[in-house]
Amino acid sequence: MISLRGVTLVYPNGTRALDGVDLEVAKGSFVFLVGHSGTGKSSLLRLLYREQRPSRGEVTVDGTRVDNMRRSKVAQLRRNVGVVFQDFKLLSDKTVWENVAFALQVTGAKTKDVRRQVPRVLDLVGLAHKSRMYPSELSGGEQQRTAIARALVNNPKIMLCDEPTGNLDPVNTNEIMELLHRINLKGTTVVIATHNALVVDRMRRRVIRLEDGKVVADEERGYYTHPGLREALAAPSA
């Protein structure tokens, strides 16, 4: 479903975000990208939905090369790739229903399809009863559920999540991860960039660890192993 071959990304200021990355993600996988800030996790995700192009190397998503994709084809790619961010990126002047519908409307979906699809995904994420509320009236967990519904409404083959629980408390974090797990069980490939060691360690799925823009570990049932983090988590509170 996802393939990177010899991918290097150097930003205009000279920062080397990725350095010779090779990896593959099979259809239906659930994968964590871990590593400290600035190690290339978000940059890698941006390559997959063509927000960024690599300096070198090949990026393939669902059998299509996206590194050299024409700009006119990017919209079609993004129909197959749902993206969820830490800060939700909801439209504050639109209701939950309108936020989710907007993702369909910008692709030119017919009104009848919007009316069919939006209730379906809101029911899936447990927000059907809050469809008329605005983001400011929702909890953080509910805002993230809305963002997930928006990413799902086009029936994407891939879900990319950049720190999806970064602004959430432990209860909401567990609920969001359970929701993403259920989405994965339906066949959607899920890739999550995260600092949340407790989530990674509890779920025991594939873990790809980045350091200085390079893949330094890739375990099928791995743990978050950022140096010093385990000791900090295990230390007694003051």
Tens digit of each residue's pLDDT (9 = 90 or more) over 152-205: 999 999 999 999 998 899 999 999 999 999 999 999 999 999 988 899 999 999
pLDDT for the residue 238: 41
Domain boundary among 155, 180, 201: 155
Domain boundary among 129, 155, 181: 155
Is 74 in the same domain as 165?
Answer: yes
pLDDT of 235 above 60:
no
Which H or E element spans position 45? helix 41-48
Is 64 in the same domain as 167?
Answer: yes
Is 11 in the same domain as 71?
Answer: yes
Is 133 in the same domain as 151?
Answer: yes
CA distance 17 to 8: 8
pLDDT of 208 above 80:
yes
Tens digit of each residue's pLDDT (9 = 90 or more) over 43-74: 999 999 999 999 999 999 999 999 999 988 88
What separation in angstroms does the CA of 32 have from each of 76, 107, 186?
25, 29, 18
Buried b (16+ CB within 10 A) or exposed e, 184-195: beeebbbbbbbb
Task: Give me the mean pLDDT over the 83-108 stretch.
Answer: 93
Is 19 in the same domain as 126?
Answer: no
Sequence-separated (6 or more) residues with CB below 8 Å from residue 95: 131, 132, 133, 134
The residue behind tokens 């959430």 is 168
- Token pair in block for residue 91: 């439209």
Judge whether 6 and 57 are in contact, CB under 8 Å.
yes
What is the band of 225 on the pLDDT scale with cuts at 50, 70, 90?
Answer: confident
pLDDT for the residue 170: 92
pLDDT for the residue 227: 52
- Token pair in block for residue 52: 């960024």
Domain boundary among 123, 155, 187: 155
Domain count, the chain: 2
Is 173 in the same domain as 144?
Answer: no
Is 162 in the same domain as 238?
Answer: yes
**Domain span at residue 36?**
1-78+158-238
Tens digit of each residue's pLDDT (9 = 90 or more) over 109-145: 899 999 999 999 999 999 999 999 999 999 999 999 9
Is 116 in the same domain as 74?
Answer: no
Is 122 in the same domain as 192?
Answer: no
Helix axes 96-105, 111-124, angle to 10 degrees: 130
Name residue 2's beta-bridge partners.
25, 61
